[in-house]
Structure 1
Amino acid sequence: MQTCALVCHPACAPLAVSGVEARWGIVGPWLQLRWRVEGAARVILPPFAGRERQDGLWQATCFEMFVQPAGGTAYAEYNFSPSEAYAAYDFATWREGMAERPLSHAPVISPRKGIGLFLFDVAIPLADLPALPAALSLTCVIEEEGGAKSYWAMDHGRSPQPDFHQAACFAASLAATETP
């Protein structure tokens, strides 16, 4: 598994969250992801919705993955909610040509909240990803009590506002032969 500390966008500071770490790796026919949120006592989790497709998940606590095949401008966006709802989209280029991305299997989503710690695990079939190797971006929106939202990414570049679609966010890689 590879690990990366995510960075909070300076325009949207968290209240109590002190750090977010993302891990990823390929295990058999699955891509496994984990986000670890420290200082999570005030994090608001959406209520259980079940494994169903749902738009607008980013408006509450949500974990996201972006995958852009090497050498192209097209990319896929995946949204995973602690409610266990999910979404997947294809883009032809930066924020253009959006279409629903078909998935062969609903992602397996496992949220676990403890005192001050929140773990969020996702497993998604490799068959549901664009071609590998690819650039990878793992991000999240964290909503805390009082309505405060913080935006975490591998890199935010110089954007004055959070924008997970920008090229700077694709700060990692995902290889077809990766092993944990």
Structure 2
Amino acid sequence: MQVCRLEPHQAHPPLAVTAIEARITHDDRNWLGLRWRIETASELVLPAPAGKRREDGLWQATCFEMFLQPDGGSAYCEFNLSPSERWAAYDFSAPRAGMAQRALPRDPVCTMRAGSRFAIFDAAIPRAGLPSGQSAMGLSCVIEETGGRKSYWALAHGGDAPDFHDPACFTTRLAAPSAA
């Protein structure tokens, strides 16, 4: 599957992280698998394991995100996935407007493997909780490093401040689920 290179927002450079790549690892009628690879993870700060459960505010620490905007409208959904195993999902009617909790049929599965050279974050999201059909997709992450330093990584950035909700960040595509 296509590997997408994320870019740090220029106003918030990383401390040690040198690159982040994201990709879809698998996609079928049951699960969408995603992977983020962080290069030079020696200063990476991870939230403590907390078990699978919905939780708001995950973006305030290291967090991995996916945005999907179905073709033909301004509505979109956001998925926040934490190395702690906590997660959140929201629907929006337009950029940062009409926010509501998005129901998922079961908890996403989140796993983190970290070393000093690199770290891997894998997530599997139940396909039944995603929009049907094709969507514009944004992949992003907030990376916290030693000393509270945060960098904001996305496929593209649209403004002077980091904003993953900006449609300029939705630069790749998610196809409709396969029948497999």
- Give the shorter-chain TM-score range: over 0.9
Query: Which residue number corresponds to residue 74 of structure 2?
Result: 73
Query: Which residue number corresponds to residue 40 of structure 1?
Result: 41
Query: Which residue number corresponds to residue 141 of structure 2?
Result: 140
Per the TM alignment, residue 2 of structure 1 is displaced from its structure 2 partner at its CA by 1.9
Which stretches of structure 1, 4 residues or more, deviate above 3 A after TM superposition?
none
Instruction: Report the TM-score when normalising by structure 2.
Output: 0.96
Task: Give per-residue Cα distances to partners, 1:54-109, cap 9 Å, x unaligned.
Answer: 00000000000000100111000000000000000000111000000011010011
Q: Relative to 1, partners in 2 of residues 1:28 and 1:131: Cα closer, same or farther, differing over 3 Å?
A: closer
Secondary structure, aligned partner of 2:43:
coil
Residue identity in the other structure for 1:136? M
Query: Which residue number corresponds to residue 52 of structure 1?
Result: 53
Secondary structure, aligned partner of 1:140:
strand
Task: Give per-residue Cα distances to partners, 1:131-174, cap 9 Å, x unaligned.
Answer: 220000000000000111000000002x0000000011000001
Instruction: Report the TM-score when normalising by structure 1.
Output: 0.96
8 A contact 2:54–2:88 mirrored in 1 = yes
Query: Which residue number corresponds to residue 16 of structure 1?
Result: 16
8 A contact 2:68–2:136 mirrored in 1 = yes
Q: Give aligned-pair identity as a percent.
A: 56
The CA RMSD over aligned residues, in Å, is 1.5
Residue identity in the other structure for 2:107? A
| Alpha-carbon distance in 2 for matches of 1:80, 1:177 | 21
Provide the aligned length of Structure 1 versus Structure 2: 179
Secondary structure, aligned partner of 1:5:
strand
Does residue 131 (structure 1) correspond to residue 132 (structure 2)? The answer is: yes
Query: Which residue number corresponds to residue 161 of structure 1?
Result: 161
Query: Which residue number corresponds to residue 172 of structure 1?
Result: 172
